[in-house]
Chains A and B, each alone.
Chain A
Amino acid sequence: MKALLWTGINETSVEEVPDPQVQNPEDMIVRVRRTVTCGSDLHLLGGYIPFMQKGDVLGHEFMGEVVEVGPDVRRHQVGDRVVVCSFISCGRCWYCKNELFSLCDNGNTNPGITEALWGANPGGCFGYSHAMGGFAGSHAEYVRVPYADVGAFRVPDGVSDERALFASDSASTGWMGADLGNVRPGDVVAVWGAGAVGQMAARAAMLLGAERVILIDRFDYRLRSAEQHVGCETLNYERVEVVEELRERSGGRGPDVCIEAVGMEAHSPSAVHAYDQVKQQLRMQTDRPTAVRQAIYNCRKGGTVFVLGVFAGLVDKFPLGAVMNKGLTLRSAQMHGQRYIPMLLERMERGELVTEHLATHTMPLTDGPRGYTMFKEKQDENIRSVFLPGG
């Protein structure tokens, strides 16, 4: 089969690789119909998450058709159209039973790596480095899905492939930020990052009853997309002062909930960005936390900051004093998608949650390297590149 491989820092190629096989009794094989780039892939591409090997298959957000099931798979059969959660979780450990699926004890086959890094291991993830289990990713014609009954969900007939695709990760991650960020009716919510996850977090906040939702970014085309398809307010941080604007839009209080959907390669127009970049390049910090700092600084007293963006290691100038003295609740997680995907598919079927606009560029998998370049460089107003392994 064909697959899109990581071949070195900022290098990918599409090559012929062996087909995956059922290895465990609850595995199934999915023929990938759609698979999509994610901002967090850029951290892998750029070597910021240094646990990739030359030849690893990329991709973690996907949907497709079941073509083979292991003997203990009960909920799926050949021919089912499914969307698959990006995180690999057993469904039976204490964390899964408490719906903290990305913290699964059993889904990561390389637990020692992340125990050494972070003190404990999260679950596994498709195509997301050997720190997350080294599972082959979804940018391929076929993919092995472990714990298929836990992580794969049948797509309702009324939901198109294009829409269902984003339930796999973007929509479920965004929903988690609003849900675990404790968004309540009447809240003012600010979201940093108008990529797919940020837009979905904004939409989730609206559906959970927020009074005002303000999405912050520096690219006008992404903000226009959010205004048109999500219906939230927007703010371009290169044109206005974020602090003053958020104060004005929240009656002087600051947002009740601040959701950071940017991650470890954040930008800023200020001198702080240059400082962060230099420190990151010199490995004096591994991640650039610009948006996290802003979320903490702008959040109202007693509010909640939720970190959705992916971080891998250490950051500098973390405003712990603001967290403590303002009495903030700081939460974060990789995505507990299994908790949300069935509900999201229902909302997609009812038309409450639309995602097609995120797929600004759809192309054959063989164009994958070009798709990543467009995505990374924000060419042609790219929000996400979607690959069709079937051509």
Chain B
Amino acid sequence: MSTSQKKILSAAAVGAAAVAAARTVADRTSNAADEDVTRWRVVTVNRPLDDVVAGTPAPLADLGDAVEVRVHAAPGDKGSELWARWRDGADLPDDQDPAQVLRRALRGSKQLLEVGWVLEPGRHTTTEDTVLNAPLRKAISTARGAGLL
């Protein structure tokens, strides 16, 4: 086998593996605990308790009475814990995964409390949609609401 053939085969193997890895991540954008929609989810906010209890940040407040919120002091010097859950029987968003909606709201609230605004992703004006990057695009599209939170 020539060197160039080896390179092509190697690139193909790596490419196939890349697609598989991205698909794995895309498939893991939710976890088993997401099936329990009403379970508590929590972020730790590096702000004193008084700052966090002063008002529910907009991303959580926008979810209205459907979401129950509680706040505790975090142990040590870690700030405050901001907890939220969908209330039993609440009207859940029917066009989005409720777990992802709540994760996005918690992460956004944390950034508002710590920084004052939410970091915008870069505008990907140069990227191209291809068949190979479809799994990655799916993972990116849900990445703010995905994860273990």
Contacts and interface: CB of A to CB of B under 8 A. Distances in A.
A84 interface: no
A17 B21 contact: no
A111 B44 contact: no
Interface string A1-23: 00101000110000101101101
Interface in A80-98: 90, 92-94, 97
A134 B124 contact: yes
Contacts of A111: 107, 143-144, 146-147
B96 interface: no
- Summarize A's interface: helix, strand, loop or mixed: loop
Nearest to A136: B122
A149 to B, nearest CB: 11
Given A94-B44, A144-B122, A110 B144 contact: yes
A112 B46 contact: no
A47 B120 CA distance: 26
B128 A112 contact: no
A194 B114 CA distance: 40
Q: Which among B21, B122, B126 has the greatest number of chain A C-beta atoms within 10 A?
A: B122
A124 to B, nearest CB: 8
B121 A109 contact: yes
Interface in B116-146: 116-117, 119-128, 130, 132-133, 136-137, 139-140, 142-146
Interface residues of B, number: 54
B124 A53 contact: yes
A379 B29 CA distance: 42
B136 A53 contact: yes
A342 B54 CA distance: 36
Contacts of B111: 90, 106
Contact of A94 (B46, B115, B123, B149): B46
B15 A53 contact: no
Contacts of A389: none
Between A21, A106, A117, A144, the greatest number of chain B beta carbons within 10 A of the residue's beta carbon is seen for A106
B115 A92 contact: yes
B143 A110 contact: yes
Given A50-B21, A115-B148, A5 B122 contact: no
B14 A48 contact: yes
Contacts of B117: 24-25
Contact of B119 (A48, A51, A106, A313): A106
Contacts of B144: 109-112
A54 B126 CA distance: 8
A124 B83 CA distance: 25
Contacts of A147: 119
